[in-house]
């Protein structure tokens, strides 16, 4: 019985060796020139490289997060699109003011950005407005619909962009009108 087991084990070992040897033989699918032995190539088995275990100092250093670069906020005023400075308006009239600006920073403006009144009268609008979303490097149109004051005079309302951290940035821009009573 023991001789039979030895033969059985020898058969298994030989079968495994033959299988490993044949597994190393590969037909070259991309070769244009045949090998001298009938287009069969023997590839020796390869070993995976051993990855050394890092020491504790390397592990702790790898656990420290890499700081991310923060983007920069910037706004450049380009031009008044409507209601040039000094435009004469009637008391209580509606004024659709539009400015062209450029997001010249590296941050994209989203719903966390706002416009805020920095000086002058509110002229019928909230002192904080949403800013039109704009990708970095793009131009945007800012629009606020004001109501002219009822008293005659010159009025200037200045606005500035604010980042999510409540910091103002970029060029301030304004609307300046002269309210004159209707004749």
Q: Which residues pair with 49 in a beta bridge?
A: none
**Mean pLDDT taken over the chain:** 79
Q: Is the model's pTM score more than 0.85? A: no
Surface-to-core class of residue 146, CB atoms within 10 Å of its CB (0-12 exposed, 13-18 middle, 19+ buried): buried
Q: What is the DSSP letter of 121?
A: -
* Distance separating alpha carbons of residues 8 and 6, to the nearest angstrom: 5
List the domains of the chain with CATH numbers: 2-46 (no CATH), 75-179 (2.60.40.10)
Of the candidates 117, 116, 137, 129, which has an alpha carbon nearest to the alpha carbon of residue 73? 137
The DSSP secondary-structure symbol of 92 reads T
CA 110/CA 2 separation, integer angstroms? 81
Q: What is the dihedral of CA 158, 162, 168, 171, to 10 degrees?
A: -50
CA atoms within 13 A on the CB side of 24: 10
Residue 22 has pLDDT above 60, yes or no: no
Structure tokens at 182: 């209707």
Q: How confident is the model at residue 11 (pLDDT cuts 50, 70, 90)?
A: low
Tens of pLDDT, residue by residue over 36-53, are 454 544 444 544 444 445
What is d(CA 125, CA 157) in angstroms, rounded to the nearest whole number? Answer: 11
């Amino acid at each position: 019985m023991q001789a039979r087991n030895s033969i059985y084990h020898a058969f298994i070992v030989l079968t495994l060796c033959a299988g490993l040897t044949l597994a190393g033989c590969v037909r070259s699918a991309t070769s244009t020139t045949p090998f001298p032995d009938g287009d069969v190539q023997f590839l020796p088995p390869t070993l995976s490289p051993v990855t050394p275990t890092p020491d504790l100092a390397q592990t702790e250093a790898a656990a420290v997060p890499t700081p991310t670069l923060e983007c920069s906020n910037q706004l450049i005023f380009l031009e008044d699109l409507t209601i040039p400075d000094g435009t004469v308006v009637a008391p209580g009239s509606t004024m659709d003011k539009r400015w062209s600006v450029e997001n010249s920073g590296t941050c994209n403006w989203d719903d966390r950005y706002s416009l805020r009144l920095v000086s002058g009268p509110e002229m019928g609008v909230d002192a904080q407005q949403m800013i039109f979303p704009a990708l970095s490097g793009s131009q945007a149109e800012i629009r606020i619909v004001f109501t002219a004051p009822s008293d005659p005079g010159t009025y200037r309302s200045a606005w500035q962009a604010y980042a999510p951290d409540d910091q103002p940035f970029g060029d301030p821009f304004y609307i300046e009108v002269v309210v004159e009573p209707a004749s």
